[in-house]
Structure 1
C-alpha cells in the first residue's frame, strides 16, 4: 500500500517538493555559511519524494545540532512548517486526502528542526 501511496504522492507534488529541496541543498552547499544545513536539505528532499513507510527519528542531540536547529527555526523552519500544516489542513477535509495530510504533518515536524534527524523505514 505504501508503494501505491508513494507513487501517487510523487506524481501529485512530491517530485516538485523533492526537486526544490535538492535545489536548496545545492545552493546551501555552494555557500560556506549554508554548508552545515546541506545534509538536512538532502534528507528533506528524499523524505519529500517518498514519505510513506518511513519515519523521522532523532540521530544526534548534541549542542551543535541544537544551535543549527535554532538558527534554522528562526530563519526558515517556522514558515516551512506552517506551509505543510496549511496543506495538511486542506487535505484532511477529504477522506482520500487524510493519508497525504498525515505526511505533511510529518514533513512539518522535520521542517522545524531537520539537523540531527534521520529518516528510517517504519
Structure 2
C-alpha cells in the first residue's frame, strides 16, 4: 500500500505523519510539501528534488527533518517530495500519477475568517482526490 501525506506546517505535519505511521504500519509512505509560487497558482507546477525558492529551503528541510525523525522513532523510512505550484492541484496530480492508494492530510486548525480564507487545501484534496482521503484533526 502507498500512502501520500501532504504537509505544510510543523504542528499538523507531526500529527499527520504520526497518524499515517500508526494506522498504516506496512505501507510505503511518501511525504509531499508543495511550495506555492507566484505565477503558478491554478496552472499546476513542476516536480523538483528540492525547494526552488531559497527562502523556502530551510522551512521545507525542517518539515522533512521532523517527518523523518518521527518515522525513525517508529523504525520506518519515508520518501519526501517537493512540488511547486497550486497545493491542491499538485497533491492530486501526484496521487494520480503515482501508485498512491490513500491520502492522509491534516486539517487546518484556523478558526473564523482565516479558516474560510485559507482552509481550502484540505477541502480541495478531499473533493478532487482520485483515492480515499483521511483527514487528521
TM > 0.5 between the two? no
* Structure richer in helix, relative to its length: 1
- Taking structure 2 as the reference length, the TM-score comes to 0.29
Q: TM-score scaled by structure 1?
A: 0.32
Comparing both structures, which one devotes a greater share of its residues to strand? 2
